Structure 1
Amino acid sequence: MVEAFIRHIRNKSILNPSKTYLLASSGGMDSMCLGNLLTKASIPFEIAHVNFQLRGEESDKDEEFLRNWAKSLSIPFHVHLADTYRFASERNISTQMAAREIRYDWFEKLRAERNLEGIIIAHHEDDQIETIFLNLLRGTGIEGIYGMAERRGWIIRPMLPFSRTEIQEFVLENGIEWREDSSNEKTDYKRNKLRHISLPALYEVADDAKSNLLNSFARLKDTGKAFTALFENWKSEKITESEDLQILSSKDLIRNAGASSLLYFWLRPYGFNSDQAQDILETCQFGESGKLFESSTHLLNIDRDHLILAPIPAEFDPISITKNDIEFFLPEGKYDLLKLEAQEAIDKSRQNAMLDLERLSFPLEVRTWQEGDRFIPLGMKNAKKISDFLIDLKVPVVKKRGIKVLISEDQIAWVIGYRIADWAKSTAATRKLLYLKKQ
């Protein structure tokens, strides 16, 4: 196993003998095997152990065992004493989840403090299979089949090609001591049920069941990588960006095989789940327009023949502008406030506004528009609801929430970024202009 381990880490360039690593060790068979292999492969490491205080005296003896082992190797030993039950209670999470957060957060903090090259974890082939089945039980997509990576960020798993049986044979043949965690034999947790009940039964179906599963997972992982490449091509060809909007023609979606997966992979980074992706696809297929879908950060609107994605506008508290202000700030950017002579050429950009300064009453107010708001758009004689005005301009629903208005004495002077009010425009009688210019 030593030769196979050294060959593996060299071929994959996983570990560098000139660097020092942090070995995460529980004192169990897997991590003690890994520590022995690292020593024989001349990979420098320090030992990190979390005492979760979940098994009383047994937990303390695990810590003592590892401390003595580190001393025998003359290498640094680091221990973190964790109040796991309290941590889980304060965050309203399971003890297992609490233990995971505690150890990985501490490992990374310690790695950074010690300036170490990575955190080595003793996950092996059987752990990988268990992880994949746990992902499947959670309703994973194809990426759940990928399982654990040999290296992701600072986490390194050099024992993934080796089975639990190989590890057990190695430690017994070499007289390596380890600590047995009594909780590993319990079947209260899903992983232990898989390990002790479900997977052994599955392996009994055929002699080569385990190897066939691993081969199938490897092929599916390769298929997933191919899909990812095809998805990126499709995304670059079909999805256009305009300001903070992403726009996709519904025809370019529903005509594709695997449309649900394409849609999910597009929307997943923006907080949408697979069920929402399916609902959105069905809405497109039935030709329903105007429907709005929402994640924690983004909105997606089915607008006629297009899907339009945009960030949810940040909460905006009204701001006041005094006559002496020279600038103001909105989430969309900074605006300069300039006072000009009337003979200046009028800026017709929607992003900016030139208003008759003497018709304005300070302080001015900027707020988000509200249902029922009305104004007389430039060039018109009658008042119009802002909601109708935005519909006429075909402003996407996902953009409407963030639109703001400039108010002077309860009158809307400007729908910011769209149009000024007719009453506030420059005329032949105008002597001074207020120029609101976006930077």
Structure 2
Amino acid sequence: MLSRDDVAALYIAMFQRAPSKSELDSWYNDAIEHRRDLGSTAEAMLQAAQLAVNGFGLQKMYPQYINVDPTNPESVRNIISTVYETLFNKSYQDDPNGIDTWVNQVISGQQSIGEAIASIKIIGEGIATKPDDYRAFFKTDIDFNNAFHAAKAFEAKVDAAMEVANTIENVKVDENTLKKMQDLIKSVASEADVSIVKNMAQYMKNEVEDHSDNNQQQNNGSSQSYDWWAEDKAELEKMPVPMRQEYLNFLKQAVQDHLALYNTHSNYDAQMLQQLANLETSFDLQEKQLYQKYHIPYDYDNETFLPNYDILNNPQLAQEYFNIEKSYLQKSAQALNSVNVYDVESFHPVFALIQEMDEKEDALGIDILTSANASNDYDFHGSSSDMVHFEESLSGVIVVSQDTEENVYLHQDQTDTDETVDQVDSLNINDDMLHS
């Protein structure tokens, strides 16, 4: 059964750094929930790494994850070489045959990259804990002793990483911070170094942790402001980390697409309203496909999403709505850049912005998109997913609908009763902003 130590070991092998508590917990819980073994967990982390490298601008730090191609020897070798050197302190120049053996395993389809990484980790663990079982595989005693000392050092690094995870709650995702997390365990050579790393982690805790979500929670004041977050948080926690990263990436794109419209207009017109409706539709389809890709239930009743041209009859009201949307789009774009897919709590500041936006737009008493099929409303309380897309939230209360030709649309629904308003408030359309 996969252990937390196993997850920490994969972090070191793949990213050469210690995980924070939230990262360790997220991957461990994800593995347990989806019954992943070491190989499939490594593969899932590999997928997330590819998305995160571009999403967080880490191409220079992790070039091996920019364009991973499991059929390309060079691409696979770049990954395996890094893992191999981390575990055995041997570069490709030191042991080309050993590394190419693993590369060929992947290229031939006998193992995935994640499975190869897991296998290398298991062998390293075996050398450290049962050296006599592995001694015969080495040509000389010198080769074996070098491998043994490297494996024992890696074992100590894992112990040190666990101390880091017990100390540092979460980390800011930027190159400077992550390099500091690498430096924490880089020089660990034996168990004697573990206590030193623990003290260093305590010393640098405030420097590397991301406190933006805590500050946002404090700014919200009462505990009631956090009630709406519970359901959205639960939905995010159901997502495997790679899915969360994909969700974040296209949410970021959705915000940029909306901002592009708002930045080229000074108020709504008929064409812009139609373009917003089209964006909602496109986003909904992407989200639905993402849920299907990861086999996560997606329980929306489709409904047609159309512009509410009535708002154009009141230019002043339209201007107020326009200004709210544009302002919160800009704030959300910034907040999304601080989201860490390994830490669900880091989504909260984004969702809190949408909560504020929704309240201001609700006070205007009109939506910019309307339903063409009001009888087919989304069942907010009955669905297994209460998260509504960011685009939807940008336009108010969103409903999904479908016309007779099975074209899917998103739109805002006008609420007529207090009960419906309560349902909408519970949704808070924050999910849409997940940008993870």
Normalising to structure 2: TM-score of the pair?
Answer: 0.24
Q: Structure with the greater relative contact order (CA < 8 A, sep ≥ 6): 1 or 2? A: 2
TM-score w.r.t. structure 1 length? 0.24
- Greater Rg by CA: 1
Of Structure 1 and Structure 2, the greater strand share is in 1
